[in-house]
Amino acid sequence: MAIVLKLKKGETVERGLKRMKKVLDREGLIKKLRDDRYFEKPCVKARKKSQRARIRNRSRRGRMELN
């Protein structure tokens, strides 16, 4: 899969890089590269996933109590 990004007329290189980063972020490539940098045991991945879910649910519960 190739991502081709052409600069628009009058667009600076910095602005083009910013656009490219947005595209890569939307595709999830940067996150995948960071995740694949080091090997992580499946049990460690599952533990992190459940911790993130617990934190997410705790914050949602707090918002619901405010309403």
Give buried/exposed letters for 39-60 (b at 16+ CB in 10 A, else e): eeeeeeeeeeeeeeeeeeeeee
Residue 36 clears pLDDT 80, i.e. is over it: yes
Please give the model's pTM, rounded to 2 decimal places: 0.51
The average pLDDT across 22-34 equals 89
Residue 56 structure tokens: 């997410």
What is the band of 67 on the pLDDT scale with cuts at 50, 70, 90? low
Residue 53 clears pLDDT 70, i.e. is over it: yes
**Average pLDDT of the chain?**
89
